[in-house]
Amino acid sequence: MHDNSRYPEILPVGEDSVLIQYEPEISREVNIRVLNLTHGLRQRGESSIKEIVPAYRSLMIYFDPFSLELSRLLAMVNDTLSSLDHITLPKPRLFRLPTVYGGEFGPDLESVSQKTGLSSNEIVSIFSATIFPVYFLGFLCGLAYLGGVPAKMQVPRLKSPRPKVPAGSVGFAGPQANVLPITTPSGFNYIGRTFVTLYDPQKFPPTMIQAGDYVQCPAVSEDIARRAGEKGIEECLEIYKGD
């Protein structure tokens, strides 16, 4: 059990950043608290705050120490924490990314089937119906950390990561899932691929998906998946009606 009275912890880090930590666990409840505080701070429009970076159970605030004193920033954080109940949060968005599963696009589908005892069709059916929350972005440009892989489907990472996994690959390891924004090495188990462009460095912001959104990867034919990729990610967006 955690001593919840300790949280959130507010810790100055160096001369230009502050780390705020919640309970040491990966859960949707804790992450929502992180995202609520992130949004509350951003709503203040403080120009001396250069960046706010949320993660699973924490957020880092980077600020200009020459124009914003630490004591003033800490007072701002505490004031925001005390007024979160009065902040209007944006409605979550859902990105439905048409995905083709198995074959050359899902090289690990059969091995996941063997490890879990579920048929390939069952895995695709369960995974494609799951709506995954976006905990945060990190590690790679525009990589959304997705949670909520059903327990009966969870398998560990590959013992040896692949050196090159194509952009758009859809996979998971343990409770985490992802859709790769760029071609990269990875040790996740990849069971499908979408052709929707998730990261475009010519746009700002370069990725539409943000922390607090949701992602679903409905199963479609290769032809439909490729046509969806030609239309762009804007066509995959809708307001999330759950919760």
Dihedral sign from CA coordinates of 21, 150, 213, 187: positive
Using the 3D structure, point to which of 86, 107, 125 is the last residue of a domain: 86
Same domain? 205 vs 142: yes
- Based on the fold, state whether residues 65 and 122 are members of the same structural domain: no
33 and 150 share one domain: no
Based on the fold, state whether residues 56 and 108 are members of the same structural domain. Answer: no
- 117, burial (CB in 10 Å: exposed 0-12, middle 13-18, buried 19+): exposed
CA 108 to each of CA 15, 16, 37, 168, 180: distance values in angstroms, whole numbers, following the listed order: 46, 44, 38, 15, 15
Structural domain for 42, as ranges: 4-86
Q: Which residue has the higher pLDDT, 226 or 243?
A: 226
pLDDT digits (tens, 9 = 90+) for 43-56: 999 999 999 999 99
Helix extents (H) in the chain: 28-43, 70-82, 109-116, 120-129, 222-231
How many separate domains does the chain show?
2
Q: Does 122 lie in the same domain as 229?
A: yes
Q: Do residue 64 and residue 108 come from a single domain?
A: no
CATH of the domain at 216: 2.40.100.10
- Confidence at 242, pLDDT banded by 50, 70, 90: confident
Q: Which amino acid is at 74?
A: L
pLDDT at 192: 98
Task: Tell me the residue type at 87.
Answer: I
* Residue 169, pLDDT above cutoff 90: yes
Q: Do 55 and 174 fall into the same domain?
A: no
Residue 172, strand partner residues: 177, 189
Is the pLDDT reported for residue 28 higher than 70? yes
pLDDT at 75: 97
Determine the pLDDT at residue 205: 87
Please check the confidence at residue 197 and state whether its pLDDT lies above 80: yes
| 70 lies in the same domain as 109 | no
pLDDT, position 99: 98
State which of 86, 112, 142 marks the end of a domain: 86
72 and 145 both lie in a single domain? no
Are residue 157 and residue 229 in the same domain, yes or no?
yes
Residue 4: per-residue pLDDT: 67
Checking 124-128 for CB contacts under 8 A at 24+ apart, the result is 124/191, 124/192, 124/219, 125/219, 126/150, 126/152, 126/153, 127/101, 127/153, 127/170, 127/172, 127/177, 127/191, 127/192, 127/217, 128/99, 128/101, 128/216, 128/217, 128/218, 128/219
Say which amino acid occupies 238.
E
CATH number of the domain within which 33 lies: 3.30.1360.40
Does residue 109 share a domain with residue 77? no
User: 178 or 204, which is more confident?
Assistant: 178
Of 44, 64, 86, the last residue of a domain is: 86
How many other β-carbons are positioned within 10 Å of the β-carbon of residue 241? 8
pLDDT at 88: 74
pLDDT at 18: 98
Helix (H, G, I), strand (E, B) or coil at 46: coil
Considering the chain, what is the average pLDDT of its residues?
Answer: 95
| Same domain (yes/no): 81, 98 | no
